[in-house]
Amino acid sequence: MGGKFRAITQVSCILLLALSLSLMTSVSVIAAEFPSISPTTAEYDLDDPAEVMATIDWGIASNIVTVTDDEGNLTPGLGRDYIVLVKHLIILNTYLEDKLTDIGESVELIIKFDVGAVTFTIRAIGTPPAISPTTAQYDLDDPADVKTTITWGTATSVASIVDDDGHTLTGTQYTVTPILPGVSANVSIRSGPYLAGKLKDIGDKVVLTINFNRGDPATLTITAIGTEPSVSPTTGQYNVDSPADVKTTITWGTAASVASIVDDDGHTLTGTQYTVTPITSGVSASLTIRSAPYLAGKLKDIGDKVVLTIKFNLGDDATFDITATGIHAAVSPQAKEYDLDNPADVKTTITWGTATSVASIVDDDGHTLTGTEYTMTPITPGVSADLTIRSSQYLTGKLTDIGDKVVLAIGFNLGANATFTITATGIRPTVSPQTKEYDLDNPADATTTITWGTATEVVSIADSDHYALVKNVDYSLTAIDANKATLTILHDPYLTGKHIDIGESLVLTIDFNVGADATFTITTLGIHPGISPTTATHDIIARGDVTTTITWGSATSVVSIVDDDDFTLMAGIHYTVTTTHPGVSANLTILSSPYLAGKLTSFGEKVVLTIDFDVGQDATLTINVPEVCFIATAAYGTPMAEEIQILREFRDEYLLTSPVGQTLVDFYYRVSPPIAEFITEHPTLKPIVRAGLVPAVAMSTIAVNTTPAEKTGIVGLLVLVSVALVVWATRRRGRGPEYS
């Protein structure tokens, strides 16, 4: 009765609304327009269900023929599926509440007019159901039902609850209790009927999917929690010297029993190898790992370890590490010396600790000593013993040189190895003096004294050129007494054959049969050769040879002469060496032809010659062409004539102090050499040239002996004369054809 009344009331309201709208709106028909509706989509609220209305624009249509959904035609009329009021299409709730039952569902209606058709889509909306919280914990220490709250939204009931194993919970495994009817409710997942069988260990988890009659499912994740079992301490020690059971305490937490104990070799301990004894029932217990049935066979040496994994009926595993302890054997002293001058057995003392015997002794070459190479003698049985390393059976063959060392690794039946280091000692051989001089001017053997120390012989002597000296050829050894000998490095053939130069050193390395090498250094002395003079002049007019004197010193010959152009002069062709005082001095002559005449051709040139001797430093000879008055020198026969000195002073004080004078001097030096050479080749011209030079010499004499004021006047006069000569020469050249 109430439902029909509500429907009639809603329809009456819609009719009144439609009539009001039709009276307020004028209908205008536009030719050739197809019908349409607005909106083309609408929502149906499941939280507040009501009719859905669309406005019709008829266009050229006049009525609706059919309204069709995916199941067929809707029925028009009040209390049916839809009605049409003037310009409005109303889809009735009586249709929609059966058609759209869940959020997100939709229906597409096809509205056919007498002319044309349109579609109208209606989608169901609403508030989806939800749960809070979405996660929960199930305490294994205090198991209880787990609850969450449902906010219904559009939904009204729980359709089903399914876990992640696909099991659908039954009505005894959960309950739904309203809090606010139609708004919220508590859903309880029961402990006894469901969770206790599902979540058995800490960390176990179940994911429940709660399906509602409307809306999307919700998920509730329940995780098992509890107190993890533990052991304390987590490590223990097993004393090999005093073996006993090893204990730790278990705090059970959620667990109630030990499921198994497995060691790191994968062995599962049996009930005779451990015991669990309650301390506080349900809270703690003592776990005892037995010595005789298990640990004694497992932990045999100091440092051995076993890691036990204790598995409980609930919770994570715990680990218990047990390490074997004891007293390591030791040796004292750990290092000893073996005297090569007085060889004897070497001893050390062993303190046994946990060990009872020596298993092996191995040296650093990997050799295992035999029973004849060492002995063991008890001092205090079970406490200490002497270890003796035998000299004749082992050490004499092992340690042969000062500084040789052997490291013995002593392995015991229990505990870590000990090391015993034995180092060979002795007196190193020496030489004195360590340096000696070898005089090239007075060559002799070089001697030094060897003090043997522990050594007994020289194995080899090598020089810095890696040449191995031959005994009794290059050197000799002469005993002084049992401890010393004289080492003689022979002058001939060794030292002379090395051709070492003044200041050079020869380092000899002496290798002994025992001990470190010694060095003996021989340094060469002598007198460096020299030349005098070190500079000379070459007259390019007279073309004479140039001679200097060599003082030999320790040298005996000239090896080569090279000029500053890297040209090597040839003996007998470019130079000669003539003995003046045998072994003391000689004349070195640089020949004009063919060398100097081709090398020095004009004023100011020079050549630097490097003279290399067989011994000692090089010497240098510098030969230059002097600035001379060529014609005057040819006329007077020597560049040192007094007249030439006057002309040279006149050149330097007057001609070279003015541009005109400099030009005249340059011109003279270009043209005078061939004239001078012609005069030299024709001696009868010399008196004539000397007579012609008299006025020039006289004028030069006056000029160089005048006061500064007079010199200025003379210079001015020379300038005027020069200018007059230039003017005269120019005019004469202009009238050249007239006089030709």
Say if residue 726's pLDDT is above 50.
no
Question: Angle CA(166)–CA(168)–CA(173) in degrees, nearest 5?
Answer: 130
Two tokens, residue 242? 């005093």
First to last CA, the chain: 166
Residues 6+ apart with CB under 8 A from 479: 485
3-class secondary structure, 195: helix
Amino acid at 199: L
3-class secondary structure, 605: coil
H helices of 284-333, in order, are 296-298
Q: How confident is the model at residue 180 (pLDDT cuts 50, 70, 90)?
A: very high
Nearest in space to 176 (alpha carbons), one of 215, 137, 129, 143:
129
- 18-54 per-position pLDDT tens digit: 333 343 333 333 344 999 999 999 999 999 999 999 9
In this structure, the number of other CB atoms found within 10 A of the CB of residue 605 comes to 13
In this structure, the number of other CB atoms found within 10 A of the CB of residue 321 comes to 14
The mean-pLDDT minimum among 329-333, 605-609, 710-714 falls in 710-714
3-class secondary structure, 228: coil
Distances, alpha carbon 637 to alpha carbons 630, 669, 681, in Å: 10, 18, 12
Predicted pLDDT at 25: 37
Q: How large is the C-alpha radius of gyration of the chain?
A: 65
- 157-170 per-position pLDDT tens digit: 999 999 999 999 99
| Nearest-10 Cα torsion for 596, 599, 603, 609 | -70
3-class secondary structure, 658: coil
H helices of 25-176, in order, are 93-99
- 681-698 per-position pLDDT tens digit: 777 766 776 666 666 666
The mean-pLDDT minimum among 28-37, 57-66, 94-103 falls in 28-37
H helices of 125-195, in order, are none
Say if residue 707's pLDDT is above 70.
no
Q: How confident is the model at residue 14 (pLDDT cuts 50, 70, 90)?
A: very low
Pairing of strands 358-362, 405-412: antiparallel
Cβ-contact 224, 246 below 8 angstroms? no
Q: CB burial class (10 A; 0-12, 13-18, 19+) of residue 129?
A: buried
Mean pLDDT of 428-445: 95
DSSP state of 98: H
Cβ-contact 54, 89 below 8 angstroms? yes
Q: How confident is the model at residue 124 (pLDDT cuts 50, 70, 90)?
A: very high
Q: How confident is the model at residue 540 (pLDDT cuts 50, 70, 90)?
A: confident
Q: What does the alpha-carbon distance between residue 448 and residue 143 come to, in Å, rounded to a whole number? A: 103
Cβ-contact 562, 610 below 8 angstroms? yes
In this structure, the number of other CB atoms found within 10 A of the CB of residue 739 comes to 6
User: Does the model's pTM come out above 0.75?
Assistant: no
Mean pLDDT of 402-411: 97
Q: What phi and psi, each to the nearest 5 degrees, are found at residue 147?
A: -120, 155
Predicted pLDDT at 23: 36
Predicted pLDDT at 727: 47
The mean-pLDDT minimum among 212-226, 432-446, 616-630 falls in 616-630
Residues 6+ apart with CB under 8 A from 729: none
In this structure, the number of other CB atoms found within 10 A of the CB of residue 73 comes to 13
Two tokens, residue 729? 């020469």
Q: What does the alpha-carbon distance between residue 481 and residue 479 come to, in Å, rounded to a whole number? A: 6
- In the beta sheet, which residues pair with residue 308? 263, 320
Say if residue 663's pLDDT is above 80.
no
Two tokens, residue 324? 């074997």
What is the greatest pairwise CA distance in the chain? 176
Q: How confident is the model at residue 636 (pLDDT cuts 50, 70, 90)?
A: low
Q: Check residues 259 and 683 and name the one with the higher pLDDT.
A: 259
Mean pLDDT of 500-514: 95
% of the chain exceeding 70 in pLDDT? 82
- 327-385 per-position pLDDT tens digit: 999 999 999 999 999 999 999 999 999 999 999 999 999 999 999 999 999 999 999 99
DSSP state of 75: P
Predicted pLDDT at 70: 95
Q: How confident is the model at residue 626 (pLDDT cuts 50, 70, 90)?
A: confident
Amino acid at 235: T
Residues 6+ apart with CB under 8 A from 256: 282, 313, 314
Cβ-contact 161, 208 below 8 angstroms? yes
Two tokens, residue 2? 């109430």
Q: What does the alpha-carbon distance between residue 578 and residue 547 come to, in Å, rounded to a whole number? A: 10
Predicted pLDDT at 24: 36
Nearest in space to 431 (alpha carbons), one of 472, 484, 371:
484
Say if residue 669's pLDDT is above 90.
no
Predicted pLDDT at 159: 96
Q: What does the alpha-carbon distance between residue 727 and residue 740 come to, in Å, rounded to a whole number? A: 19
Two tokens, residue 704? 């160089």
Q: How confident is the model at residue 654 (pLDDT cuts 50, 70, 90)?
A: low
Is the four-CA dihedral 439, 440, 444, 449 of positive or negative sign?
Answer: positive
- In the beta sheet, which residues pair with residue 324? 238
Predicted pLDDT at 428: 96
Predicted pLDDT at 722: 46
Amino acid at 602: S
Q: How confident is the model at residue 573 (pLDDT cuts 50, 70, 90)?
A: very high
Q: How confident is the model at residue 604 (pLDDT cuts 50, 70, 90)?
A: confident
**What would the DSSP string read from start to end of 665-694?**
HHHHHHHHHHHHHHHHH-GGGHHHHHHHHH
Nearest in space to 298 (alpha carbons), one of 236, 356, 358, 250:
236
Q: Check residues 590 and 640 and name the one with the higher pLDDT.
A: 590
Residues 6+ apart with CB under 8 A from 650: 699, 700, 703, 704
Residues 6+ apart with CB under 8 A from 628: 539, 541, 603, 639, 644
